[in-house]
Structure 1
Amino acid sequence: MGQENKTQTWVSEFILLGLSSDPETQVFLFVLVLTMYLVILVGNILILLLIRLDSRLHNPMYFFLSVLSFVDICYASSSAPQMLAHLLSAQKSIPFYSCVLQLLISLGFGGSEFFLLGAMAYDRYVAVCHPLHYTVIMHGGLCLGLTAGCLVAGFTNSLMETIITFWLPLCHNAINHFACETLAILRLACGDISFNKVMVAISGFLVIMLPCSLVLFSYGRIVTAILQIRSAQGRSKAFGTCASHLTVVCVCFGATIFTYLGPQSASSVEVEKIVSLFYAVVAPMLNPLIYSLKNKEVMAALRKVLEKFRDK
């Protein structure tokens, strides 16, 4: 065991193999990732500003949306800037402790987002199924408590998974990925990783399947309540309050379930990197677009802000 730990200490840095070694492909990926990252920053910061400036958006639904935007910015920033630097650099190395920190942050905010989507599903359930008691149930203390619980749960899981991942003796330092990611690092281990595989499965169940179950339960009750509304206009309005959140849920949960709970094979490594890229930059980019384009209140707040600037 002592020799294994000694082997691990010799790994002072990792080499990230990235998505492609072809120079032209790397330039194309740089432009693509940079564009998406800028959309992530601009879109999510804009949502944060709109929610802050427009009093009509000061309610639990948009409070959770503002937290989601903050989480998306932090999650994307944990890997996108480094990815951009490596796409234009011949030296694609990352120090050992920077890799540890990157995994901790990305897993922490990634896990927090899933729990947050579950909390947002509960918020929509209360809004549709108990509209008269919505403000009483979803009071400020509960919203803050749910948000804190999501962040604590996400980072507790992240800390546990990061520790058991880097506790392993590593025989190589070339990570076949564009970022420090659990499954890619486990492939470098020279010891038995069966315990880690079990822990990844347990972590996936707790972080992915439990919030997903809450989402399915909430929307099952929501659909039942909507179908009982007699007027078509009422049903459309009730469903409209949930459409944006449901779209984001499908995007986020679908990609991650495929990556972590799907069948693993040697040929799935490249597919895993593409799916990870989708979740790292595409999903955080889509979230503000979905919530702005599909949400009349957000668009109204944007028009109000633009009119103020135009008048000035």
Structure 2
Amino acid sequence: MTVTPNQTVVTEFILLGLSSDPETQLVLFVVFLPIYLLTLLTNILIIVTIVYDRRLHTPMYFFLSNLSFIDVCHSTVTVPKMLTDFLSVEKTISFWGCMIQIFFLHIFACTEVFLLTVMAYDRYVAICKPMHYLTIMSRRVCLVLAGGLWLGGVVHSLALAGMAIKLPYCGPREVDNFFCDVPPVIKLACADTYIINVFIVSISGVISVFSFLVLVSSYSFILVTLCNHFAEGRHKALSTCAAHLTVVTMFLGHCAFIYCRPSITFAVDKVVSLFFTAVTPLLNPIIYTLRNEDMKRALNKLMGRKVDPEKN
């Protein structure tokens, strides 16, 4: 995979984006700028609230604060560039800018998959083994799990970005997306990428299947436990688990849809990726946290409002 002397080395890529129509791009800018700002506001507010309120210093909220941090970073990797390109005639990105975007995109995406899996296990322990919850999910265990999922994300990202960087790029420069990702970028390489495509499908499949099995097992045990107990608190637990499972299914569904067939491109790919990078980071705090009564009370306290301790 060497570049011959008569080949031109690509120094920048052109992002085709979501649309080439100026009016459509302006509408998209007006729509997604507030979404991005709300994503930053809600997730940062959640992190500050959890740090501020000592009653939220529990394993569940520790992982939720990690999720909010990841969502801020995940959306920031792609959305600001997308918003800038909506107002630009030329949507270019340097070669190294593209590779850096791929690297951080996969760190946060893969880490979030692992985190959602750990959060499902945390809910399983809390509901099915409540008497041993604080022993099993001790501070040390939570820190080890957090370190492990971040390490897994870094290793996964290094592998994918490393392969993309080593490929020679000497021909077409147009990336058929609004951000750099491994599948559309390696299609531009002047080399056979069959082995890399097989690796992407394999590693994405393993991660998705493993996470799916852990999630299904955790929530299956949770449902069995809830069915065997009194109705008190059952509705709240079922509602929480259903919301969590919905988010996880959407997230894993995107990973399977995009990365388990990287050599094939569908017209809907951009829409799926847009939802994944711009909308999901805003939905996560709403589904996971802002519907939670403990979080609502903590937010009211943080904002200086009077909180009724008897309520809920």
**TM-score when scaled to structure 2?**
0.92
Kindly report which structure 2 residues correspond to 1:270-289, keeping only aligned pairs within 5 A, or say none: 270-289=267-286
Where does structure 2 lack aligned partners over 5 or more consecutive residues? 308-312
Cα distance, 1:305 vs structure 2 = 2.3
Q: Report the alpha carbon displacement of residue 68 of structure 1 after superposing the two structures with TM.
A: 0.5
In structure 1, what is the equivalent of residue 203 of structure 2? 203
Shift of 1:125: 0.7
| 8 A Cα contact 2:15 2:93, kept in partner | yes
Q: Who is 2:310 aligned against?
A: none
CA contact (8 A) 2:183 2:263 kept: no
Task: Tell me the equivalent position of 1:168.
Answer: 167
2: CA distance between counterparts of 1:6 and 1:55?
Answer: 64
Query: Which deviations, in whole Å up to 9, do the C-alpha atoms of 1:266-286 show, x marking residues without a partner?
Result: 5x1x31111111100110011
Q: Output aligned runs, 1:1-312, within 5 Å.
A: 1-3=1-3, 7=7, 10-170=9-169, 171-229=171-229, 231-261=230-260, 265-266=264-265, 268=266, 270-308=267-305
Normalised TM-score (structure 1): 0.92
Alpha-carbon distance in 2 for matches of 1:271, 1:199: 23
RMSD value over aligned CA atoms?
Answer: 2.1
Deviation sequence 1:113-145 (CA, Å, 0-9, x none): 000001111100100110000001100111011
In 2, Cα distance between the equivalents of 1:41 and 1:114? 20
**Which amino acid in the other structure matches residue 211 of structure 1?**
S
Provide the aligned length of Structure 1 versus Structure 2: 306
Please state how far the C-alpha of 1:188 moved relative to its aligned partner: 0.9
Identity fraction in percent? 42
Question: Are the equivalent residues in 1 in contact too, given 2:197–2:263 (CA < 8 A)?
Answer: no
- Quote the Cα distance in structure 1 between the aligned partners of 2:160 and 2:272: 20
Aligned-pair CA distance for 1:55: 1.9
Instruction: Tell me: CA distance 1:198–1:121, structure 2 relative to 1, closer, same or farther (3 Å).
Output: same
Query: Which one has a larger percent helix, Structure 1 or Structure 2?
Result: 1
Q: In the alignment, residue 157 of structure 1 is paired with which amino acid?
A: H
The answer to whether the 8 A contact 2:201-2:261 is kept is no
What's the CA shift for 1:167?
Answer: 1.9
User: Structure 1 residues 236, 98: CA separation in 2 closer, same or farther (over 3 Å shift)?
Assistant: same
Deviations 1:34-81 (A, max 9, x none): 111111100100111111122221100000000010011111111111
Residue by residue over 1:195-252, the C-alpha shift from the partner in whole angstroms, topping out at 9 and shown as x without a partner, is 01111112212332222221111111111111111x2124224334534422321232
What do the CA deviations read for 1:150-191 (whole angstroms, capped 9, x no partner)? 111011011101111232222211111100111111221232
Which amino acid letter does the alignment assign opposite residue 34 of structure 1?
L
